[in-house]
Every structure is written in structure tokens, then in C-alpha cells.
Amino acid sequence: MENGVKPAKIKNIAELARLAGVSAGTVSRALADMSLVNKETRERIQALAREHGFRPNQMARRLRTQRTGVIGVVIPLGHERRQHISDPFFMTLFGYLADELTESGHDLMLSRVIPGDDEWLDRIVDSGMLDGALVIGQSDQSAVIERVAQYYKPLVIWGSHREGQVQCTVGVDNAAGGRLAAQRLLDRGARRLAFFGDTNGPEIADRLAGAQQAVAAMPGATLHDFPTHLASDEMATQISANLDDIGDSVDGIVCASDIIAMTTIRLLHERGISVPDRVAVTGFDDLPLSQRMVPQLTTVRQDIAAGARAMAEALRLRLAGKDAPSTVMTPELIIRESA
């Protein structure tokens, strides 16, 4: 090696075995550092492997052992085809999940799915290349997820928990969150509220329902909801249209996400409408950046890091064959400047 000449590339255990003058089985055991093989042989083989830069083929290993060490992360884009993976909420959650799971030696595989039929999730969990799967957001695919959850255990979902559900979910109480946001606006004296969000999935629908409850309990208060897409390019034009529609008739806006809130505030600012004085705005998520903007966002906090931890923990339990219940986290109102 001193002259820098690379030894010929070893491509499998058999070749290394021949080189070492032992059998393939012994090499396999030696590389796994099993005490079954003599310490000297073991070290000799390991040294040889290192010298030749040999690493056992993972595909073969996984085929044989029937486990992959890979966790699938899936985002179903059922009702929102144009949404991208680059959506900040998803990316943030994904980042924390990655931090959690790579810590415990797993790899993450990302799949973005546009459900074309009812089999998309089956295809993923039956592909034979995953030890478990995480689904981010139920979109409008709750039924499919529920069906798969009945036969595939190592599956954890980010989303809303419903009574009698088989699927193991992690998420905040979205109705409570919606209530908190609307209540905050009402407490500030706002009475004519609007809701910006796409209610096709259960999560946002719950947030709207919560907001409606709060408004119903306050005599004289009204709430009007405006469908608002999440795909970033459409969002701005749609919110613009919403604001034109509203004119001066609204004094508080419950936004279904921080991104929507951020865009809304930006557009209000452009129209010379001051936030929170003329119109108060609440977000939902408490993304890291919502405290970095001006004005800082009053929002309903989902503790994304804690959520990721809960998902990882539930998955670990389920991978070990144990059962893990759903986690419903309590949302927290973070009062900053926008409402």
C-alpha cells in the first residue's frame, strides 16, 4: 500500500474468503465480529477487508435476514396534488424525524405519493424494503390508512385521532387548537372572523370545527370560511381573492397554518391594512420561523419536535412487536404580536 497501489477490488465474501484461505461462512461471521471464530482469524479477516475496502452487499444481507433497517416516510397528496414535499411544515417534521431515527441507526426513505387508487399504501408497506412506515398527514385517505393499519403493525400516522380508530396516530387536538385560535381573536374584541384553509382532510376540518364552536359560544360573532389551497403558488392568489371578497367586513382571521398566516399578513401589509390593529391574524403550527418574522406570529403551537419523538417512540415499540397507543398532544396558544 505504501506506493498507493489499490489492491484489486473484492466484490463478494467468497472472493475474500478465498484470499484469506477460509470459507465464506467464516468470513461472514468474522465481519460480524462473532466470538465463534478464532480471535486471530477474525482480526486477520477484518484487516484484509479493510485493506481491500470490502463491504458486504446490503441487498443480499437484507434479503437473507428479512430486515432492512429502513423506515419509509410517506406523504399522501390526496386532495392537494400540487403541494410539494418542500412544504415547510412537512420538512420541519421530517427533519426532526430524521434526527430521531438516524440516531437509532435507521435510514429514512422518502416517498411522495399521489394516490391514484386504493392500493398506494399497500404497495409501499408490502414492497419488502421497509421495516416500518410513517405517514405524514391523512389527507383524504383515512379509509385506506385504516384498512392497511389493520394488517400492518409498524405504521404510525401524523394526523387526527378519531374514536375507534385502529391506526396509531400522533398529533395535536386540532379542534382544541381551532378553539384556542378563535377564542384569542374573540378575546381581543374581534367579532367578524374568517377561516382560511382547505378542509378536505380531517386535520384542518377539525380546526375549523373548533373555531366554529368558539364562535358559536359568543353571541353576535360570526365565522366565514374560505377554502385555501396549500400549494404555495396558488395560495397567494387565492388569499388575495379571499381578501378582496372580504373587504372591510372582517376583523380577525384564523389561518389553518403558519404559512397561510404569513402570506396573509404579507398581503394585508401590501394593502396597507395593519396587523393586528385593523385585522388580527392567528397561525397554526408554530414553525421555527414564525418567531423570526415581523410581526411575530400569534399561533397555535404543535410541538413538532415532541411529535417526532412520539412517532419515533411508537414506531420503535411497534417494530419490537409491542403495541403503542395513539398520542394526542395538547395544543398551546402562543401569543406574540399578530393577534
Partner DNA sequence: ATACCTGATACAATCGTTTGCAACAGAAAT
Partner DNA sequence: ATTTCTGTTGCAAACGATTGTATCAGGTAT
* Binding-site ranges for its own copies (CB under 8 A): 53, 55-60, 62-63, 68, 70, 84-88, 90-92, 94-96, 98-99, 102, 107-112, 122-123, 126-129, 232, 259, 262-263, 265-266, 269, 288-289, 291-295
Binding partner at 36 among DNA, its own copies, none, C-beta below 5 to 8 Å by kind? DNA
Binding partner at 7 among DNA, its own copies, none, C-beta below 5 to 8 Å by kind? none
Binding partner at 328 among DNA, its own copies, none, C-beta below 5 to 8 Å by kind? none
- Is 60 or 166 the residue whose CB approaches DNA more closely? 60
Question: Within 13 Å of residue 232, how many CA atoms lie on the same side as its CB?
Answer: 9
Residue whose grid cell is 390508512: 145
- Is 41 or 46 the residue whose CB approaches DNA more closely? 41
- How do 332-334 and 298-301 pair as beta strands? antiparallel
> Do 193 and 182 touch, CB atoms closer than 8 A?
yes
Binding partner at 28 among DNA, its own copies, none, C-beta below 5 to 8 Å by kind? DNA
The grid coordinates of residue 33 equal 465480529
- Is 37 or 262 the residue whose CB approaches DNA more closely? 37
Binding partner at 269 among DNA, its own copies, none, C-beta below 5 to 8 Å by kind? its own copies
Minimum CB separation of residue 321 from DNA in Å reads 17
Enumerate binding residues for DNA (CB under 7 A).
11-14, 21-26, 28-29, 31-32, 36-39, 41-42, 56-57, 59-61, 63-66, 128
Cα 276 from chain centre:
31
Coil/strand/helix, residue 89: helix
The grid coordinates of residue 253 equal 382571521
Minimum CB separation of residue 64 from its own copies in Å reads 9
Neighbours of 87 (CB within 10 A): 21
- Is 109 or 273 the residue whose CB approaches its own copies more closely? 109
Binding partner at 127 among DNA, its own copies, none, C-beta below 5 to 8 Å by kind? its own copies
> Do 14 and 28 touch, CB atoms closer than 8 A?
no
What is the C-alpha separation between 143 and 117, in angstroms, rounded? 12
Locate the DSSP E strands across 114-165.
132-136, 155-158
Long-range residue pairs from 21-30, CB within 8 A, at least 24 positions apart, any chain: 28/56
- Is 69 or 295 the residue whose CB approaches DNA more closely? 69
- How do 168-172 and 327-329 pair as beta strands? parallel
Minimum CB separation of residue 59 from its own copies in Å reads 4
The grid coordinates of residue 279 equal 385585522
What is the C-alpha separation between 136 and 191, in angstroms, rounded? 34
- Is 43 or 187 the residue whose CB approaches DNA more closely? 43
Binding partner at 71 among its own copies, DNA, none, C-beta below 5 to 8 Å by kind? none
